[in-house]
């Protein structure tokens, strides 16, 4: 059985196994003939398959007339393989023109008897032109589905990001016209002042695809979607990049797309941004100068909080349906559920950023919204804080000593003052042999410490016991209900106390766990945490009222409170450590806390002032037997070491963290190099780190 018969029989009913491709000619018509030279074009095998009745006296082939539908492929199936021109030829080969470049000899002819008219009259050869049988066109059309077609060259657009620079605090905002790289070679940002709108505009600069490239990418995306839906596979997070890359290049080969290396890279960049990145906001998420990203509704421009230029409008916005899908996607990748029943949700994104999302127009009338508070994969280091002007070297050295001697510290400030960022900096001063247990609602801390247990709360399953709380989807509400399986900050804190840590870190102190935390501090556990309060009076008011209810006698066991603040000076927004306050004791007669301000920021001269004395040094002397002269000398050495790191451009968090650990291991050698003016080159640093087990 030939390939033609196999394909044809696939579409035939089982009982209809007889196929007739001819129609008996009308009476009085002669059978059409093909000149003898057409016979000579056939192979000997093909010629032997032609019945004698189909030959004329001149040796020509008698062509069939119009076909009938007896048991053959119906018109609907035939149209799958043919276009309109082919269908006309199939229906009436006498009047229609065959497809070009089609001959009898390029298709294997199936042996099939040709019927003659009942009268035995030959067909009129003048009524038919020399045409090709209908089968070659159908089969060639079918086979062409599996054949690579010649593709035209795909055009591309020129991409020029322009001259690059870096954000600077110098100059006026009206003079800003800057482009800087986010993730070269394809992701850049331009920031400039728009006189027409009277504000700064943050524009994403990425290579745009041409019409041809967009069409090719659409083909690949559709094929990839079908590939994933028909061949679902679990891929590890580390292997997703490799999986997408391999499928992208294999689909290009399958479809025979003629794209050069540069076009492939551009198309893959957009594909990766869509499937592995954050789509429209991917560049914003990767920009290390961005702190917050806010979307206030559909068809509205997004706003970002820039570390250098403050609040800036972007050129990015979402349509309504696209925004709803994006919010659902954020919840999905964070492992949370959001719906019209629970339209508000707090999230922790895979990169550690915090997000709050709302779905639909039920609670936010302009549509879905999201606010992302970015948390860098590579956190801000103490040296970078110095360069931002938020703190000075002596303050950092002072806090470094307190961390070594296990003092309990609270970072207290308003919204977006940098509390969590500064808490992360404090943790970099903890000696590597100390054990740390952190408890948080959403994972925000990012410590590069070898002995760190990170624990987060968990939302329970089903409705709450009281049947009231938890509808919004956010924790810490006033509903008071607790769902089965809820794990709160209090539960995590109780578990942390049983793990014998040197430091307990509470991401944000705000509820009933505060009482247990201060109880732990009272019995000797060192603790760190953040709280929303802008001054000492606000702090006392918060901890002494519901839901914390911490008595002042317990609060007095705290050692130090750091007050960061977010201010606007001229056109610029900045963060400063306004006060560092020691808590000494509770006055039993008046009930007031006795405090001592160690450092204070002077806004008129923009300087941090040392007040001359630290009573915590007296406590360290009484507890550990270290003299105050030794502590003051150590304060000077560590101040010089921090300034030396800044001078030698050691500012990345990981590098600063390794240098701090190196200082703990070999302080004399480090200080010897600093005071002798010798440079710690890379080779020497690696040798010291290797010898101390830090490489």
pLDDT tens digits, residue range 661-675?
999 988 988 898 888
* Averaged pLDDT, 441-466: 80
Alpha-helical runs (H) found in 370-481: 382-388, 393-404, 419-427
Output the CA–CA distances (angstroms, integers) from residue 527 to 96, 186, 402, 565, in the order listed: 91, 44, 12, 22
Cα 247 from Cα 223, distance rounded (Å): 10
- Which residues lie closer than 8 Å to 312 by C-beta, 6 or more apart? 191, 199, 200, 201, 202, 303, 304, 305, 306
Q: Is the pLDDT of residue 169 over 50?
A: yes
Q: Classify residue 656 by its DSSP letter.
A: H
Residue-level length of the chain: 695
Counting residues of the chain whose pLDDT is more than 90, the rounded percentage is 48
Q: Is the pLDDT of residue 443 over 60?
A: yes
* Averaged pLDDT, 619-625: 94
Contact 600, 608 (CB under 8 A): yes
Q: Is residue 498 part of a domain?
A: yes
DSSP H/E element including 285: helix 282-286
Pick the closest to residue 459 from 579, 338, 569 (CA basis): 338
What is the band of 533 on the pLDDT scale with cuts at 50, 70, 90?
very high
* Averaged pLDDT, 590-611: 93
Q: Is residue 169 part of a domain?
A: no
> What is residue 16's three-state secondary structure?
coil
Q: What is the pLDDT of residue 688?
A: 54
Q: What is the pLDDT of residue 641?
A: 95
Task: Let me know whether 331 and 397 are in one domain.
Answer: no
Q: Is residue 194 part of a domain?
A: no
* Averaged pLDDT, 107-120: 42
Q: What is the pLDDT of residue 115?
A: 44
Q: Is the pLDDT of residue 453 over 80?
A: yes
> What average pLDDT is seen over the chain?
79
Q: Is residue 431 part of a domain?
A: yes
Q: Classify residue 458 by its DSSP letter.
A: B
DSSP one-letter string for 305-363: EETTTEEEEES----HHHHHHHHHHHHHHTT----SSS-EEEEE-TTS-EEEEE-TTSS
What is the band of 336 on the pLDDT scale with cuts at 50, 70, 90?
confident
First-to-final CA distance of the chain: 72
Condensed to tens digits (0 to 9), the pLDDT of residues 364-407 reads 999 999 999 987 778 899 999 999 899 999 999 999 999 999 99
Condensed to tens digits (0 to 9), the pLDDT of residues 119-167 reads 444 444 444 444 445 455 655 655 555 555 555 678 888 899 889 999 9
CB-count burial class (<10 Å; 0-12, 13-18, 19+) for 116: middle
Counting residues of the chain whose pLDDT is more than 70, the rounded percentage is 72
Greater pLDDT, 636 or 226: 636
Q: What is the pLDDT of residue 230?
A: 65
What is the band of 463 on the pLDDT scale with cuts at 50, 70, 90?
low
Q: What is the pLDDT of residue 422?
A: 95
Q: Is the pLDDT of residue 117 over 80?
A: no
For the beta carbon of residue 154, count every other beta carbon within 10 angstroms. Answer: 18
**Structure-token match 């009129």, residue found:** 124
Condensed to tens digits (0 to 9), the pLDDT of residues 266-323 reads 999 999 999 999 999 999 999 989 989 999 999 999 999 998 898 999 999 999 999 9
Q: What is the pLDDT of residue 11?
A: 43
For the beta carbon of residue 295, count every other beta carbon within 10 angstroms. Answer: 26
Task: Give 379's Cβ-side CA count (13 Å radius).
Answer: 23
Task: Let me know whether 546 and 581 are in one domain.
Answer: yes
Q: What is the pLDDT of residue 136?
A: 53
Cis bond before residue 258 (omega within 30° of 0)? no
Cα 72 from Cα 12, distance rounded (Å): 7
Torsion of CA 275, 276, 280, 283, to 10 degrees: -150
* Greatest pairwise CA separation for the chain in angstroms: 135
Q: Is the pLDDT of residue 72 over 60?
A: no
DSSP H/E element including 520: helix 513-522
Q: What is the pLDDT of residue 350?
A: 86
Task: Let me know whether 253 and 349 are in one domain.
Answer: yes
* Averaged pLDDT, 472-497: 72
> What is residue 118's three-state secondary structure?
coil
Q: Is residue 156 part of a domain?
A: no
What is the band of 559 on the pLDDT scale with cuts at 50, 70, 90?
very high
Q: What is the pLDDT of residue 147?
A: 56
Task: Let me know whether 366 and 428 are in one domain.
Answer: no
Lowest mean pLDDT among 67-76, 113-122, 677-686: 67-76
Task: Let me know whether 269 and 126 are in one domain.
Answer: no
Greater pLDDT, 483 or 380: 380
Which range of residues forms the domain containing residue 17?
Answer: 3-146
For the beta carbon of residue 506, count every other beta carbon within 10 angstroms. Answer: 27
Q: Is residue 201 part of a domain?
A: no
* Averaged pLDDT, 523-543: 93
Q: Is residue 473 part of a domain?
A: no
DSSP H/E element including 609: strand 607-610
Q: What is the pLDDT of residue 129?
A: 46
Domain count, the chain: 3
Task: Let me know whether 283 and 399 are in one domain.
Answer: no
In degrees and rounded to multiples of 5, residue 309 shows phi and psi of: -110, 5
CATH classification at residue 289: 3.30.450.380
Task: Let me know whether 528 and 647 are in one domain.
Answer: yes
Long-range contacts from 278-283, C-beta under 8 angstroms, 24+ separation: 279/326, 280/316, 280/318, 280/326, 281/316, 281/372, 282/187, 283/182, 283/183, 283/187, 283/188, 283/189, 283/204, 283/206
DSSP H/E element including 568: strand 560-569
What is the band of 344 on the pLDDT scale with cuts at 50, 70, 90?
very high
Q: What is the pLDDT of residue 233?
A: 63
524 φ/ψ sector (left φ>0, alpha ψ -120 to 50, else beta): left
Q: What is the pLDDT of residue 28?
A: 44
Q: Is the pLDDT of residue 5 over 50?
A: no
Last residue of a domain, one of 146, 181, 196: 146
Contact 304, 314 (CB under 8 A): yes
Beta bridge partners of 602: 607
Task: Let me know whether 405 and 348 are in one domain.
Answer: no
Pick the closest to residue 388 from 448, 306, 304, 445 (CA basis): 306
Task: Let me know whether 337 and 437 are in one domain.
Answer: no
Condensed to tens digits (0 to 9), the pLDDT of residues 219-250 reads 999 988 887 766 656 677 678 888 899 989 99
Q: Is residue 135 part of a domain?
A: yes
For the beta carbon of residue 662, count every other beta carbon within 10 angstroms. Answer: 18
Task: Let me know whether 369 and 418 are in one domain.
Answer: no
For the beta carbon of residue 305, count every other beta carbon within 10 angstroms. Answer: 18
**Structure-token match 């990015």, residue found:** 316
Is beta strand 526-532 parallel, antiparallel or unpaired with respect to 436-440? unpaired
CATH classification at residue 618: 3.40.50.300
Beta bridge partners of 580: 562, 599
CB-count burial class (<10 Å; 0-12, 13-18, 19+) for 334: buried
What is the band of 80 on the pLDDT scale with cuts at 50, 70, 90?
very low
**Structure-token match 């990981």, residue found:** 654
Contact 263, 155 (CB under 8 A): no
Q: What is the pLDDT of residue 687?
A: 53
Task: Give the sign of the dihedral formed by CA 337, CA 341, CA 342, CA 343.
Answer: positive
Q: Is the pLDDT of residue 105 over 50?
A: no
Q: What is the pLDDT of residue 472?
A: 52
Task: Let me know whether 354 and 386 are in one domain.
Answer: no
What is the band of 41 on the pLDDT scale with cuts at 50, 70, 90?
low
Q: Is the pLDDT of residue 691 over 50?
A: no
Q: Is the pLDDT of residue 170 over 90?
A: no
Q: Is the pLDDT of residue 474 over 50?
A: yes
Task: Let me know whether 353 and 440 are in one domain.
Answer: no
Q: Is the pLDDT of residue 466 over 80?
A: no
- Which residues lie closer than 8 Å to 630 by C-beta, 6 or more apart? none
Q: Is the pLDDT of residue 38 over 60?
A: no
Last residue of a domain, one of 353, 373, 393: 373
> What is residue 113's three-state secondary structure?
coil
Exposure string over 340-364, b if 16+ CB within 10 A, otherwise e: eebbbbbbbbeebbbbbbbbbeeeb
């Amino acid at each position: 059985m030939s390939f033609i018969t196999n394909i044809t029989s696939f579409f035939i009913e089982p009982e209809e196994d007889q196929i007739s491709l001819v129609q008996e000619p009308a009476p009085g018509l002669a059978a059409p003939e093909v000149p003898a030279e057409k016979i000579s074009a056939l192979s000997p095998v093909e010629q032997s398959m032609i019945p004698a009745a189909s030959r004329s006296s001149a040796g020509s082939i008698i062509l069939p007339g119009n076909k009938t539908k007896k048991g053959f492929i119906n018109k609907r199936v035939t149209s799958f393989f043919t276009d309109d021109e082919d269908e006309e030829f199939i229906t009436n080969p006498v009047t229609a023109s065959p497809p070009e470049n089609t001959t009898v000899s390029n298709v294997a002819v199936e042996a099939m008897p040709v019927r003659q008219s009942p009268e035995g009259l030959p067909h009129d050869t003048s009524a038919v032109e020399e045409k090709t049988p209908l089968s070659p066109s159908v089969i060639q059309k079918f086979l062409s589905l599996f054949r690579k077609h010649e593709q035209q060259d795909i055009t591309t657009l020129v991409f020029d990001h322009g001259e690059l620079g870096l954000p600077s605090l110098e100059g006026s905002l009206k003079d800003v016209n800057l482009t800087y790289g986010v993730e070269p070679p394809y992701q850049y940002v331009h920031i400039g002042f728009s006189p027409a709108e009277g504000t700064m505009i943050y524009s994403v600069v990425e290579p745009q695809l041409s019409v041809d490239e967009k069409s090719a990418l659409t083909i690949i995306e559709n094929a990839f979607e079908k590939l994933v839906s028909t061949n679902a596979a679990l891929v590890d997070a580390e292997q997703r990049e490799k999986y997408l890359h391999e499928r992208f290049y294999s689909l290009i080969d399958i479809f025979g797309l003629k794209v050069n290396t540069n076009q492939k890279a551009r198309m893959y960049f957009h594909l990766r941004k869509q499937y592995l990145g954050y789509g429209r906001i991917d560049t914003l998420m990767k920009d290390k100068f961005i702190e917050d990203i806010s979307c206030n509704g559909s068809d509205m421009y997004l706003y970002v909080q820039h570390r250098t230029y403050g609040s800036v409008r972007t050129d990015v916005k979402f349509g309504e349906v696209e925004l709803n899908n994006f919010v659902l996607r954020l919840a999905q990748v964070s492992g949370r559920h959001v719906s019209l029943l629970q339209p508000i949700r707090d999230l922790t994104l895979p990169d550690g950023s915090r997000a709050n999302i709302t779905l639909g127009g039920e609670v936010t009338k302009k549509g879905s919204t999201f606010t992302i508070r970015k948390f860098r994969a590579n956190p801000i280091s103490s040296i970078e804080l110095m360069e931002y002007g938020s703190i000075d070297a002596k303050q950092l050295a002072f806090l470094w000593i307190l961390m070594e001697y296990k003092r309990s510290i609270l970072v207290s400030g308003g919204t977006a003052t940098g509390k969590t960022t500064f808490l992360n900096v404090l943790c970099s001063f903890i000696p590597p042999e100390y054990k740390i247990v952190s408890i948080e609602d959403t994972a925000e801390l990012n410590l590069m410490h070898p002995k760190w247990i990170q624990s987060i709360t968990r939302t329970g399953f089903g409705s709450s016991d009281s049947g009231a709380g938890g509808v919004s989807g956010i924790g810490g509400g006033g509903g008071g209900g607790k769902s089965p399986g809820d794990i709160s900050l209090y539960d995590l804190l109780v578990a942390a106390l049983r793990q014998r840590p040197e430091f307990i870190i509470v991401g944000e102190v705000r509820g009933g766990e505060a009482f247990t935390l201060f109880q732990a501090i009272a019995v000797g556990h060192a603790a760190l945490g953040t709280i929303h309060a802008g001054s000492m009076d606000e702090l006392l008011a918060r901890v002494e009222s519901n839901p914390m209810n911490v008595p002042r006698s317990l609060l007095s066991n705290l050692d130090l409170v750091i007050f960061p603040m977010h201010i606007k000076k001229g056109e610029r927004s900045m963060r400063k450590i306004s006060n560092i306050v020691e808590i000494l004791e509770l006055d039993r007669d008046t009930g007031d806390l006795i405090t001592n301000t160690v450092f204070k920021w002077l806004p008129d001269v923009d300087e941090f002032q040392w007040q001359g004395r630290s009573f915590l040094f007296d406590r360290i002397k009484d507890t550990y037997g270290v003299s105050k002269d030794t502590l003051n000398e150590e304060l000077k050495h560590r101040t010089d070491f921090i300034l030396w790191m800044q001078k030698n451009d050691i500012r990345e968090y990981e590098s600063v963290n390794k240098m701090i650990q190196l200082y703990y291991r070999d302080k004399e050698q480090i200080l010897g190099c600093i005071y002798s003016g010798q440079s710690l080159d890379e080779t020497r640093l690696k040798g010291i780190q290797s010898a101390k087990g830090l490489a």
